[in-house]
Structure 1
Amino acid sequence: MFTLVTGAYKYFMRQDEYNILMLGLDGAGKTTLLEKIKHIDTGIPGMPPDKIQPTVGVNIAKVTHSKDVVKFMDLGGQADLRGIWESYYEDSHAILFAIDAADRERMKEARDVLDQLIRVDELEGLPLLVAANKCDLEDAELVGVKEMINEMADRLDERDVRVMETSGIEGTGITAAMEWLHSRIIDNKDNKPPVVPEL
């Protein structure tokens, strides 16, 4: 009887889980964004930005959003680490692609990497949030990031795409970004069902 009750409890209390890939060049601020996401979710201060090291491999954080579990997977963006990205494609429900909006010298490199991503079959149709990150910096330019995405419009097909200003330091745009990603994941759940935890 106890096993039956426990099983029923787990069944009714289980939460759907969705995976969001956090991709972008090294130095785009992905890990700082993830620390701020965790802080917003838990209220516990994250790692101070000056203590954050470049990601080698993957950082994973789970947050709860509207009763769903959203797992953010922050993958290292160095050129020699991008080969591991494909290991995470199949189970992903959305992409958050961070661009350092203040680093104009690497904008073309970011565009080329994003252009390769949107051509990957396993990622076809997934919602894409382009975070024009570091918007707190004086040199940050949202217009340049939007123009870059507009140039790729013919290759984005019917994918849900949004460009938003974000700052992992100040928290600008992060709550709105999470709301947008979650809503698009839910809209797309017939095409890409959630991960259902085992009982």
Structure 2
Amino acid sequence: MAFENCRQIGQLVSVYKEAMFSILLSLIITAPKINTVLSFYNMLALLTEIYNYIFHKDQYFILIMGLDNAGKTTFLESAKAKLNKQYKAMKPEAITTTVGLNIGKVVFDGVQLNFWDLGGQKELQSLWDKYFAEAHGVIYIIDSSDQSRIEESLDAFEKALKNQTLNGVPVVIVCNKQDIKECMSVSDVKMALREIIKKLGTRDCSLFPVSALHGNNVLASISWLVKAIKKNSDYRPPS
């Protein structure tokens, strides 16, 4: 049913595009007959406004943060593949440590999502705050299979949340690598997060058990975040 609806929407968009092209073409053909150049440009401006109204999508910027090797890029690749059937995700063995950032763009729930996958190495964490002002939401990824770095991950998370630029921005915590047998349980991660959660203030926050490698709960976590971002749009409007 969802696929059928998407197909119908796609057909409707195609009809709109053809109609807009026909109107623009007729304006160009009749331009010499228009009394003044100003009138032509007024009509062209009106046509542009109509086009933008029909096809414009609100844009939201989402940060993907976490320590190196937490699975941030794997999460992004899985999301892109699930939301764009024509996109072929990179094979896990081809994914390398992010230096700087990776960018991913997808359309989901009627809006344009721009993902910024930030490098998680210690020396790169100092650059995270450069992206906070434009962020509408945060995905923080924890490697639940590496208990030796859980405190390091929580410290980086807490430090980011202390930045006032992120005040009120919704956060989804991804408890990643739940497919690994020796991983921490969701309840264990929640227990480790309990002090940080108390400091989240009034912002929306949720935690999802995820296997980015297998795609489990990737879309569910994004769907929750998009709803929270839309609800928060009065505080931080879309671009």
Identify the residue that residue 91 of structure 1 maps to in structure 2: 134
Letter in 2 for 1:67: G
- Kept in 1, the 8 Å contact 2:136–2:169? The answer is yes
2:8 is the counterpart of 1:8: no
Q: How does 1:19-58 map to 2 (within 5 A)?
A: 19-43=61-85, 44-58=87-101
Higher helix proportion, which one? 2
Q: How does 1:61-80 map to 2 (within 5 A)?
A: 61-80=104-123
The runs of 5 or more residues in structure 1 that have no matched partner are none
Q: What CA distance in whole angstroms lies between the structure 2 residues aligned with 1:65 and 1:42? A: 10
2:209 is the counterpart of 1:165: yes
Q: Quote the offset at 1:146 in angstroms.
A: 0.9
Q: Quote the offset at 1:153 in angstroms.
A: 2.6
Q: What CA distance in whole angstroms lies between the structure 1 residues aligned with 2:106 and 2:54? A: 19
The runs of 5 or more residues in structure 2 that have no matched partner are 1-42
Identify the residue that residue 120 of structure 1 maps to in structure 2: 163
Letter in 2 for 1:34: L
Residue by residue, what CA displacement relative to the aligned partner does 1:42-61 show, whole Å, maximum 9, x if unpaired?
Answer: 11320001100100011111
Q: What CA distance in whole angstroms lies between the structure 1 residues aligned with 2:49 and 2:202? A: 40
Letter in 1 for 2:118: L
Q: Quote the offset at 1:161 in angstroms.
A: 1.1
Q: What CA distance in whole angstroms lies between the structure 1 residues aligned with 2:237 and 2:44? A: 31
Identify the residue that residue 199 of structure 2 maps to in structure 1: 155
- Kept in 1, the 8 Å contact 2:74–2:95? The answer is yes
Identify the residue that residue 8 of structure 2 maps to in structure 1: none
Q: What CA distance in whole angstroms lies between the structure 1 residues aligned with 2:192 and 2:167? A: 19
Aligned length: 195
Q: What CA distance in whole angstroms lies between the structure 1 residues aligned with 2:217 and 2:190? A: 16
Q: TM-score, normalised by structure 2?
A: 0.79
Letter in 2 for 1:90: A
Q: What CA distance in whole angstroms lies between the structure 1 residues aligned with 2:154 and 2:91? A: 29
3-state SS in 2 of match to 1:18: strand
Letter in 2 for 1:120: N
3-state SS in 2 of match to 1:183: helix
Of 179, 188, 193, 1:144 maps to 188
Structure number, greater radius of gyration: 2
Q: Quote the offset at 1:5 in angstroms.
A: 1.6
Identify the residue that residue 192 of structure 1 maps to in structure 2: 236
Q: Quote the offset at 1:118 in angstroms.
A: 1.2
RMSD of aligned residue pairs (Cα, Å): 1.1
Question: Where has structure 1 moved over 6 Å in runs of 4 or more?
Answer: none
